[in-house]
Structure 1
Amino acid sequence: MRMKNLMLVLVAIFLSASAAIAQERGNRQGPGQNRTPEERAKAEVERLNTALSLDQSQRDSIYTYSLQQSTAQQALFQQGDGDRDKRIEKMRSFREKYDTKLKSILTEEQIKKYEEIQKERSQRRSSRN
């Protein structure tokens, strides 16, 4: 009887540990996964300001446009129409529009630096995949 109780306790401990590990993995999603559009827009402005030394007008313009984009992207994901390829294409379109708008706000020097940053990010993404 003692052996049976010991086995039950061990199984319970194992299941609890497995659940805790799974929960922790779920919490380690990529940055921005559970953020509101406002939080994502603010984080984007902070990231760009750090990298490009934006002035206040640029920060305000980028925040406004980034908020619009984040809200549209969130709506796209909440639709969940099931067509993954279509959503990926829309996200690509959002990114291209965002880059175009962003470049219209930045100075020539900032655009060059932004393009370098984008190239580095792309290379890091490629190396992870």
Structure 2
Amino acid sequence: MKKNILMLALSVLVAGSSVAPAVAQGGSKSRQEVKAHKERGERRSPEERAAARTERMTKELGLNKAQARKVEALYLKQAKDKDAMRSRFKKGDRNADFRKEMMASHKRHNEELKSILDKKQYAKYEEQREQMKAKHQERGGKDRRGHHERSTQIR
């Protein structure tokens, strides 16, 4: 009888330890779901993208709650701006000022981010950006989808 109770308790313990991490993750999507989402050509919503970037920056840079809120609002604004620019680009609005607008938007974003982060955090952020650029160069100028980077020369 004691053996049966011990085996039952042990099996509940093992089952609980394997189920607990899955339950703790809650509503987060599995890697397969995210990959399937990307394969269908769907984009995550601006809110999802902002939340993901904020979470990653919070872990990497050690943001406090106030900074995380400000960063998330900044990334949400940036994601919405990028979506608007992307739709303009797809509609054929590709005049000479388009690139200047994109660069100005990027510069504003960096200035706002710099005002939110402290000097140490911003230095680490810049270091990570440089590392990503180096990785990009190592891959031969290919972006995440395996496409070659477009030439910036005017022909």
TM-score normalized by structure 1?
Answer: 0.68
Tell me the residue number matched to 1:107: 118
2:71 is equivalent to residue 76 of structure 1: no
In the TM superposition, what whole-angstrom CA distance separates every residue of 1:29-61 from its partner, at most 9, and x where no partner exists? 7xxx71111011111101111110100000000
Query: Which of these residues, 50, 59, 67, is aligned with residue 41 of structure 1?
Result: 50
Percent identity, aligned pairs only, is: 28
Q: For the structure 1 residues 126 and 62, does the alpha-carbon distance in structure 2 shift closer, same or farther, using more than 3 Å as the test?
A: same
Query: Which of these residues, 29, 39, 58, is aligned with residue 27 of structure 1?
Result: 39
Deviates more, 1:80-89 or 1:34-43: 80-89
Distance 2:131 2:105 in 1: 20
Ranked by relative contact order (alpha carbons within 8 Å, sequence separation 6 or more), the top structure is 1
Query: Which of these residues, 63, 80, 89, is aligned with residue 54 of structure 1?
Result: 63
CA shift at 1:126, angstroms?
Answer: 1.9
Q: Which runs of 5+ in 1 are unaligned?
A: 1-23
CA shift at 1:64, angstroms?
Answer: 0.8
TM-score normalized by structure 2?
Answer: 0.58
Distance 1:88 1:47 in 2: 28
Q: For the structure 1 residues 85 and 121, does the alpha-carbon distance in structure 2 shift closer, same or farther, using more than 3 Å as the test?
A: farther
Tell me the residue number matched to 1:21: none
Q: Aligned residue pairs: how many?
A: 102
Q: Which runs of 5+ in 2 are unaligned?
A: 1-35, 142-155
Deviates more, 1:51-60 or 1:90-99: 90-99
Distance 2:124 2:100 in 1: 26
Residue 68 of structure 2 aligns with an amino acid whose one-letter code is R
Q: Going by fraction, where is helix more abundant, 1 or 2?
A: 1
Distance 1:53 1:84 in 2: 40
